[in-house]
Amino acid sequence: MMTARQEAFRTAYRAQIAALYDGIVHVALIFLIGGAALWYCVQNIHAPTWLELLVIPIVVIFANVFEWFLHAQVMHRPRPGFMGIYKRHTLAHHQFFTEHEPFHDTTKDYRIVFFPPYAEIAFLVMASAMAYGVSLVWSTNAALILVASAAGMYMNYEFFHWCCHVRDDRIIKHIPFVNTIRRHHIAHHDTAIMMSRNMNLTYPFADWLFGTSDVQRGLLGTLLNGYETRFVRKDLPKVRSSADVTRPAVPAE
């Protein structure tokens, strides 16, 4: 159920979205850029060795820890030079979506669900810089696999995040990993734990590794937890927003 505060924020936020913004174009750009980078890299990989293919799981794990770090230390912490990211995430995204009402209504709301497409360009440039180093000391195949994997992980991130904020879960709730991250991320939108728990957006591996998951399970249990709430820690902090408390007209006896 949506609180009055959240409803007011949503109304004000939507009123500020530029008229020329289009959610479908936004999403199309993200997947067009990521898809083009992925396709180009794959086209130029020739007879990769098993050792070169090992770059894929390394990138997946590195990207997972990077996503965790960025979310915990930049998106939820006001760092000089990165205030725009903090404002956009903690002060806007987390006000628009709460654990009580975490779903978007229209494609205009994609403005606050997805990262701006230039974040993807920045991510691909970082991956390309690393890949250039890899190509110098190792092989071009490994470098291309690195960039392709990074592009894939970025699109994976955006898709999973959308799955967390879409209302209709008739299909999603049956898909392993997707159902896990959906419960995991919606729980993260609880203001009581948003600064400290459930920082992963793809697979809660780094949350398990660093002990920041809200569930107390082994690695496989954490990754495949789904909607299960039996394993949620009992010692999580709880807050009650005084702004939304409706005071009774007549004091209770």
Q: Under the rule (CB under 8 A), what is the footprint of other proteins?
A: 8-9, 12-13, 15-18, 20-22, 25-26, 29, 33, 36-37, 39-40, 43-44, 84, 87-88, 91-92, 95, 111-112, 116-118, 121-122, 124-125
Shortest Å distance, C-beta 103 to other proteins: 18
- Using DSSP's 3-state secondary structure scheme, residue 87 falls into helix
Nearer to other proteins, 115 or 157 (CB): 115
Shortest Å distance, C-beta 239 to other proteins: 15
Beta bridge partners of 232: 215
The single residue listed with the structure tokens 């390309």 is 128
Residue/partner pairs of 45-51 with CB below 8 Å, 24 or more apart: 45/141, 45/144, 45/145, 45/148, 46/141, 47/141, 48/141, 48/142, 48/145, 49/141
Nearer to other proteins, 58 or 244 (CB): 244
Nearer to other proteins, 12 or 236 (CB): 12
Nearer to other proteins, 117 or 226 (CB): 117
> Which tokens sit at 138?
């190792």
Shortest Å distance, C-beta 67 to other proteins: 20
Shortest Å distance, C-beta 195 to other proteins: 15
> Cβ atoms within 10 A of the Cβ of 167, count?
9
The single residue listed with the structure tokens 């957006």 is 201
Nearer to other proteins, 93 or 173 (CB): 93
What is the CB-side half-sphere exposure of residue 117 using CA atoms within 13 A? 15
Shortest Å distance, C-beta 228 to other proteins: 32
